[in-house]
Amino acid sequence: MLFKPAQPTNPMTADPTFRHAHAPAPGTTRDPRFDILFEPVRIGPVIAKNRFYQVPHCNGMGHGRPAALAAMRGVKAEGGWGVVCTEEVEISPCSEIAPNFEGRLWDDRDLPALRLMTDACHEHGALAGIELMFNGYATPNRYSREIPMAPSHLPVRHLDPVQARAMDKRDIGNVRRWHRNAALHAREAGFDLVYVYAGHDLGLPMHFISRRTNRRSDEYGGSLENRVRFLRELIEDTKDAVGDRCGVVVRLAVDQLLGPGGITAESEGRDVIAMLAELPDLWDVNIADWSNDSVTARFADEGYQERTIGFVKSVTSRPVVGVGRYTSPDAMVAAIRRGVMDLIGAARPSIADPFLPNKIDQGRVDEIRECIGCNICVTGDHLCVPIRCTQNPTMGEEWRRGWHPERIAPVHGRHASDTALVIGAGPAGLELARALGQRGVEVTLAEAGRRLGGRLLHEAALPGLASWMRVVDHRVHQLKRMPNVTIALDSPMRADDVLDFGFNRVFVATGSRWRKDGLGRQHRQPLVDPTLAQVFSPDDIFGGAVPASPVAIYDDDHYVMGGALAEKFARAGLEVHLVTPASKVSEWTEMTMEQARIQGRLLELGVHLHTAVELVDVTVTGAGLTIQLNSIYTTARPSTLGCASLVLVTMRDPCDELWRELLARQDRWHEAAVRSVECVGDACAPGTVAAAVYAGHKAAREFDAVGGDPDAVPFRREMIRIES
């Protein structure tokens, strides 16, 4: 039951020992168990101040948004990462990856943009690394329109009807020269580490090494020693050019996970490392391709690459960095002590919490925003927009909105004394209350249920998604340490209740509900009678309903829900049919690089997949249903599917009734001291968990910006300067 703001219902929020999340406790010190993580590591001529190494990762900003990129990398350096690297950086228009925004170092005109990043890293004592890239057959060169090159004639990896031509000796010489020039330019731009890239099945040296892509018969083909020749030459060229000043790093995928037809850690992966063991200053090792290197938490646990890369230190004396979505300092220490790696590589954990190293150093391990492994970060690169993160709503907004992941200014001006009521404790409400609390606002978070978490209480219980609950756990932990935040459970709200309490600012974050009438992307009008006993929504399932077998799932949402429910039902022993108008199961998860794994798992579980068909009619037949399906391409091929129950995963409606009721009573706001009522997160427009967290954070940031210019662009833009 909700009480007046002066009467906190949660005793933990009233405990004077609890503190703001961003302020370290007096006398806090590092746990001695983690001292090894803060030992310096020499990398050729340079020294990393600790073992925290942000490996290269794409971000949707690259050469197109260099100021935003530099600010994002600079925040990581500020957060304590000893090494901060770029994304892949193109070295020539003969190998560019438009429309994606990667780095670019074609000539000296690219240096000013890159210096922004090195300056930002050096300001906080981090080494800056650059991953030089020539993509070979992995790109169709859509912008430059140059013909791609590869060791042998090959179609490009993309669907473009383009082929890469086989390189001759002059081409090989040209690429070596371009790479050397780029290394020299990188040194001029202030980089401390320069990469030779042979990872992810994207870099040209990998294409030479792999028998799958190298059919040459000259000194660059045939034996492994010949196939490694190009990589060796690039390393030697780079060391000769910049090795006196910069550490030279080789990034190598030691296993393509293709079995005997590809590079494997047991054979050629090991042999390549052994051949070149002492040549680079650092080995950055992983597995190919990117979807394997960055597997979502649904399909891989923390440290999952150790079993593949664990051999590397046994064949080289050079330091080794590897990745595995490490978020636990205990797991990091264990990897080092067991001799798996010398530096803890991270992309996704550094995105979720740029201050992860500092929090370990300052004894604030419990404040780490742990990566949930959802790969929303990857979608920014795929969609050519700035990176975003479910756990860290400030990611990608450091420059354009001025958001810092740890600091947020106290509310000032006439709103400094405003009190806030946040209704609903899902991802939007939790982040909104947390950020408002951090800003010093007196906040009451009212939740109708008995648990905090909203939609995540259900979604995180689906197969493989348990890590998503970290979104809730992190915020609840912070909220309970804030004396200015009151948490009220079991407190459903009506408009009269809200107006009677006298909060100045009201935020409605009451979430959304799944429809069960078929309305969605494919059908813009209701299609199914939602009162049928055999028809269910995901909310019905979360509420304890058990569909009868066989069950059909109609997925017009195309993200994780349809596939996760199918897996849940199949594991419970039901016969499952997944029907979707998309050409693939959970098609949008192509953006998170898990679609193939989802579809493969469902096939392994015996789920019947019906793709590229739409549901057009449902009729009751006895105790079950007959579903009529049509091909999305032609109505000449109708089909029917008999089932006992149907689960519709199409779209959600916002639960905005309270917000609308409060708007209808605006005439009472003044006497109730209410200054504003806002609808936030899924209650405004249903979306991803990342979108909900972002919406909550944005509302908190704009708490004292009410009444601003609605026509103004709300963030800074990087404008192209037209030369006269």
Q: Report, as residue numbers or ranges, the catalytic residues.
A: 58, 197, 200, 293
From 287, 275, 278, 181, select the one nearest 237 (Cα to Cα). 181
CA distance 83 to 186: 16
**Ordered DSSP codes for 580-619:** ESSSSTTGGGGTTT-HHHHHHHHHHTT-EEEESEEEEEEE
DSSP letter at 409 equals: P
Helix (H, G, I), strand (E, B) or coil at 248: strand
From 186, 144, 180, select the one nearest 162 (Cα to Cα). 144
Rounded to 5 degrees, φ, ψ at 499 are -70, -30
Q: Is 558 exposed, middle or buried (0-12, 13-18, 19+ CB in 10 A)?
A: buried
Give Cα 166 to chain centroid, integer Å.
36
Give Cα 179 to chain centroid, integer Å.
30
The residues, any chain, with a CB within 8 Å of residue 234's CB and separated by 6 or more, are 176, 179, 196, 205
Helices (H), 79-168: 111-122
Bridge partners for 127 per DSSP:
83
CA distance 323 to 326: 7
Could you tell me if 140 and 162 are in contact, meaning their C-beta atoms sit under 8 angstroms apart?
Answer: yes
CA distance 290 to 298: 16
Bridge partners for 555 per DSSP:
649
Could you tell me if 96 and 51 are in contact, meaning their C-beta atoms sit under 8 angstroms apart?
Answer: no
550 dihedral zone (left: phi>0; alpha: psi -120 to 50; beta): beta
CA distance 530 to 78: 53
Helices (H), 502-542: 538-542
The residues, any chain, with a CB within 8 Å of residue 319's CB and separated by 6 or more, are 41, 42, 43, 281, 282, 283, 342, 343
CA distance 146 to 135: 13
CA distance 543 to 566: 17
CA distance 497 to 489: 15
Bridge partners for 620 per DSSP:
625
From 253, 247, 14, select the one nearest 130 (Cα to Cα). 247
Cis peptide before 500 (omega within 30 of 0): no
CA distance 154 to 213: 8
- Written in H, E and C, the secondary structure of 200-213 is CCCCHHHHHHCCCC
CA distance 622 to 92: 67
CA distance 602 to 570: 8
